[in-house]
Amino acid sequence: GVPAGVYNVVHGFGGDSAGAFLTEHPDVDAYTFTGETGTGETIMRAAAKGVRQVSLELGGKNAGIVFADCDLDKAIEGTLRSAFANCGQVCLGTERVYVERSIFDEFVARLKAGAEALVIGPPDDASSNFGPLVSLKHREKVLSYYQQAVDDGATVVTGGGVPEMPAHLAGGAWVQPTIWTGLADNSVVVTEEIFGPCCHIRPFDREEEAIELANSLPYGLASAIWTENASRAHRVAGQIEAGIVWVNSWFLRDLRTAFGGAKQSGIGREGGVHSLEFYTELKNICVKL
């Protein structure tokens, strides 16, 4: 077992609660945090007092890139998972999807069919595979983006609201899985992390254009590339500004490998030797014999 006091859980929410106390306490030597970029910036400012270490895994607005030469069945299945797993409440989820124009219409139609086939219900119902959001407050935030998408001129391919639920479930934080097309690249729905079950799909014509679109935001947590061309996969993956890039997969991870974000999606890496290095101090001891 682990000796008493090595691992402690302190609960609390809000700026005046446990988080602020711990980040400002002088006896804390290092911080590792997973959450919003704004909160990470606050922790960095607190850690600067005393020059303490930080490891941050922060927000993202992850992009999927789907080339015409992909295995379309796998690309649809993977994008469905990456957009709607855990009701979209996954930091690694895909909220932007860039699809080569020649397969754009088919991709949108098939992703729509997949989203509409999801069964909404509580997680203890074995027949359901799409649960609620974490709270009614978070639902208000997600629904505000749903409305913003309409205000910005989006085509709502599917979803965009609250599903009808049985009376005994009506009080839950339910939302529909939602797909949009037609938004401008600078719409807040395209540029800000929503953390809900939604994605915007946009066509592209050239490989370079897809890379530019994927890299256009200040975030760089994760990306997924769908292509059967191995040379293209390596070429594009090497140019994507993200801490992890999946090829023909999503959420595939070995805990021995590095995990973390680029740009405003984080600082440092977790996993394997990277975690050991963060929690220990490298020391050089020289002895003259």
208 is catalytic: no
148 SS3 class: helix
Q: How far is CA 285 from the centre of its chain?
A: 42
Residue 14, exposed/middle/buried by CB under 10 A (0-12, 13-18, 19+)?
exposed
DSSP state of 12: -
CB 52 within 8 A of CB 28: yes
Using an 8 Å Cβ cutoff, are 49 and 74 in contact?
Answer: no
Residues 24, 36, 41, 57: which is the catalytic one?
A: 57
| H-run or E-run covering 180 | strand 178-181
Q: Give the ranges where 18-155 is alpha helix by DSSP (H).
A: 18-24, 37-48, 72-84, 104-116, 136-151
Sheet holding 266-267, edge to edge: 30-34, 53-57, 266-267
Contact criterion met (CB below 8 Å) for 165 and 131: no
Active site residues: 57
